[in-house]
């Protein structure tokens, strides 16, 4: 009988499932959407049970597409959006909607955590990162401070993919890569930090046991199998948060290779053999999905989300034109943008639709086009937006380079990898060779490869990636534009600092 792996990724906009062979050949994929709620400005929430419904729907759909026997699935790997907080009651049902990675309500709790730890530097030394609004620990304190009755009823706090694991297996577990985002893990020791838990007064019993990403955590239960349309007893490995899993899916398992992922958020991700910290806390250092290794990365909160917002709200004519031409509207938007001059004739875009994390940990930051004149047209707006998102990614890259992280080749993934204009733009702005790999299936693919390692189909994740992943020919930067974009990026960076103090005034007016 043929052997197959199932990868499941609980994303922000939807759940993706993937079936592949042990050598990485993808047979089929399927996606089921999620909806996002924002009950107040800066709030971002989802219903965890909607994730489960989407997982069941997408799993059944991918099997219909793959047309393989259920008995051929040897193992399941999980991935998901990081930091989301699922608070469970004693009967293991969610007490409230999950608070997501891009939620910005916890600024006061971040300050509280750093105060309880003695300083920002002491916190970074203890867990590898500063307190940021997207992380999980600030959300735990927010629930305790603002909804104490729900906090008192909480018996387990899970990350998104780990809630799905529980629904599949009735087992609580997580992996060290995803658990790094709790802000409660000693990343050097790969264990929860008892000192941090004590100072924040968080009971360790609320947190699931941790595993390396390839390790088997449980087997698919009878009820979980019935809901998914699978057979019980299939091993489920620990998996990883979406960034770490996507890095595996792009073969980032050794120094010198980075991945630049432009999805809803934008992530520049590098492998590290040792836990390398940024003393200023601008980028994150966490455990890697590679056993006993680490990673350093930064997250731009709104990357592809900016283009999606633009498409949904300001591109009606382009959408109509694309429909007439039977063309994808995003492809047409980028084609139009490519026909405008580099630099969009003095127009800049700040991509802070949901605040920012890296390099500016500023939940109050706001998006803007700056430099508009009567000359500017719709394609100029698009080009400035895409350049702004890419400048934000370059902010992260410059920090990694200043930390002496090797950056020999950048592998592109996500929406920014699919379009030739955006691929070349990234090479030009990063001033680096860029490449893609033979698959662009993202975290679900990395999760499936981890599952293959977990049951011994490969000796380790390096061997799995070497077998499954091939890099395309490198795309080199346009030397005529390197100096130009260096100046453009410098101007882009000045704009945030010029406006930073105004964001607080805007927030005060909104809340008045």
φ/ψ of 237, rounded to 5, equals: -85, 170
Q: Does 471 reside within a domain?
A: no
pLDDT at 472: 87
Check residue 42 and give its pLDDT.
85
- Residue 316 and residue 190 share a domain: no
Based on the fold, state whether residues 182 and 317 are members of the same structural domain: no
**Each residue of 189-202: pLDDT tens digit?**
999 999 999 999 99
- Residue-number span of the structural domain to which 25 is assigned: 4-250
| Mean pLDDT for the stretch of residues 117-138 | 94
pLDDT band at 120 (very low <50, low <70, confident <90, very high): very high
The Cα 285–Cα 431 span in angstroms is 24
Structure confidence by residue, pLDDT tens digits, 376-392: 999 999 999 999 999 99
> Based on the domain organization, do 336 and 483 belong to the same domain?
yes
Chain centroid, CA 60 distance in Å = 25
pLDDT at residue 28 in the model: 97
Catalytic residue among 9, 162, 178, 242: 242
Is position 242 annotated as part of the catalytic site? yes
Last residue of a domain, one of 216, 235, 250: 250
189 is a domain residue: yes
**127 located within any domain:** yes
Within-domain flag for 466: no
**Is 82 known as a binding-site position?**
yes
Are 159 and 20 in a shared domain?
Answer: yes
Instruction: Look at residue 97 in the predicted model and tell me its pLDDT.
Output: 98
| H-assigned helices in 214-355 | 222-228, 242-249, 304-314, 316-324, 329-338
Q: Which SS3 state, helix, strand or coil, does residue 480 take?
A: helix
pLDDT in tens, 241-266: 999 999 999 999 999 999 999 988 89
Q: pLDDT tens digits for 220-238? A: 999 999 999 999 999 999 9
- Residues 55 and 170 both lie in one domain: yes
- Please, are residues 228 and 55 in contact by the beta-carbon 8 Å criterion? yes
For residue 350, pLDDT over 80 is answered with: yes
Name the pLDDT band for 63 (thresholds 50, 70, 90).
very high
In this prediction, residues 205-229 reach a mean pLDDT of 98
In this structure, the answer to whether residues 224 and 337 fall within a common structural domain is no
In this structure, the answer to whether residues 63 and 212 fall within a common structural domain is yes
pLDDT at 3: 95
What pLDDT, on a 0 to 100 scale, did the predictor assign at position 382? 98
- For 23-44, what is the mean pLDDT? 93
CATH number of the domain residue 498 falls in: 3.30.420.40
Give residue 240's pLDDT.
97
Domain ends where: 204, 220, 250? 250
| One domain for residues 238 and 321 | no
43 and 181 assigned to the same domain: yes
What's the pLDDT at 280? 87
pLDDT at position 419 over 90: yes
Residues 47 and 126 in one domain: yes
Q: Is the pLDDT of residue 47 over 80?
A: yes
In a domain, 261, yes or no: no
- pLDDT over 90 percentage in the chain: 90
User: Does 172 share its domain with 55?
Assistant: yes
Q: How far does Cα 146 stand from its chain's mean position?
A: 27
User: Same structural domain for residues 208 and 76?
Assistant: yes
- Judge whether 271 lies within some domain: no
In the chain, the number of structural domains is 2
Q: Is 286 annotated as a binding residue?
A: no
pLDDT at 11: 93
For 445-464, b/e burial (b = at least 16 CB within 10 A) is bbbbbbbbbbbebbeebeeb
């Amino acid at each position: 009988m043929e052997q197959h792996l199932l990868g499941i990724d609980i994303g922000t906009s939807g759940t993706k499932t993937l079936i592949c062979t042990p050598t990485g050949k993808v047979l089929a994929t399927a996606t089921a959407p999620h909806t996002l709620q924002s009950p107040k400005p800066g709030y971002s929430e989802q219903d965890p049970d909607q994730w489960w419904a989407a997982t069941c729907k997408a799993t059944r759909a991918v099997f219909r597409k793959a047309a393989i026997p259920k008995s051929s699935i040897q193992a399941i790997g999980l991935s998901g959006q990081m930091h989301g907080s699922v608070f469970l009651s004693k009967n293991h049902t969610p007490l409230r909607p999950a608070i997501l990675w891009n939620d910005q309500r916890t600024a006061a709790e971040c300050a509280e955590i750093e105060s309880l730890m003695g300083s920002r530097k002491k916190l970074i030394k203890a867990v590898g990162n500063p307190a940021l609004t997207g992380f999980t620990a600030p959300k735990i304190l927010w629930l305790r401070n603002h909804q104490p009755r729900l906090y008192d009823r909480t018996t387990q706090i899970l990350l998104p993919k780990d809630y799905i694991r529980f629904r599949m297996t009735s087992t609580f577990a997580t992996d060290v890569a995803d658990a790094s985002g709790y802000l409660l893990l000693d990343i050097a020791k790969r264990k929860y930090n008892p000192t941090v838990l004590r100072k924040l007064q968080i009971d360790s019993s609320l947190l699931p046991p941790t595993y390396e990403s390839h390790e088997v955590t449980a087997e698919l239960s009878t009820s979980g199998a019935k809901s998914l349309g699978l057979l019980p007893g299939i091993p489920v490995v620990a998996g990883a948060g979406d960034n770490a899993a996507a890095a595996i899916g792009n073969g980032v398992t050794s120094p010198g290779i980075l991945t630049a992922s432009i999805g809803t958020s934008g992530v520049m991700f590098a492998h590290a053999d040792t836990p390398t910290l940024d003393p200023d806390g601008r980028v994150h250092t966490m455990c890697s999905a590679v056993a006993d290794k680490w990673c350093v990365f930064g997250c731009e909160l709104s990357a592809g989300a900016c283009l999606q917002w633009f498409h949904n709200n300001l591109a009606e004519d382009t959408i109509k034109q694309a429909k007439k031409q039977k063309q994808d509207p995003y492809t047409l938007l980028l084609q139009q943008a490519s026909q405008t001059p580099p630099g969009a004739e003095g127009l800049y875009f700040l991509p802070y639709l949901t605040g920012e994390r890296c390099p500016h940990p500023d939940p109050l930051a706001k998006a803007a086009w700056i430099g508009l004149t009567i000359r500017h047209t719709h394609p100029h707006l698009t080009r400035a937006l895409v350049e702004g998102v890419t400048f934000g990614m370059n902010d992260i890259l410059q920090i990694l380079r200043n930390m002496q992280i090797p950056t020999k080749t950048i592998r592109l993934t996500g929406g920014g990898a699919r379009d030739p204009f955006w691929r070349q733009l990234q090479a030009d702005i990063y001033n680096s060779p860029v490449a893609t790999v033979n698959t662009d299936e993202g975290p679900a693919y990395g999760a499936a490869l981890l599952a293959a390692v977990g049951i011994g189909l490969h000796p380790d994740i390096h061997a799995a990636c070497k077998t499954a992943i091939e890099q395309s020919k490198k795309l080199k930067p346009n030397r005529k534009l390197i100096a130009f974009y260096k100046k453009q990026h410098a101007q882009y960076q000045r704009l945030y600092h010029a406006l930073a103090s105004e964001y607080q005034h805007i927030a005060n007016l909104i809340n008045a």
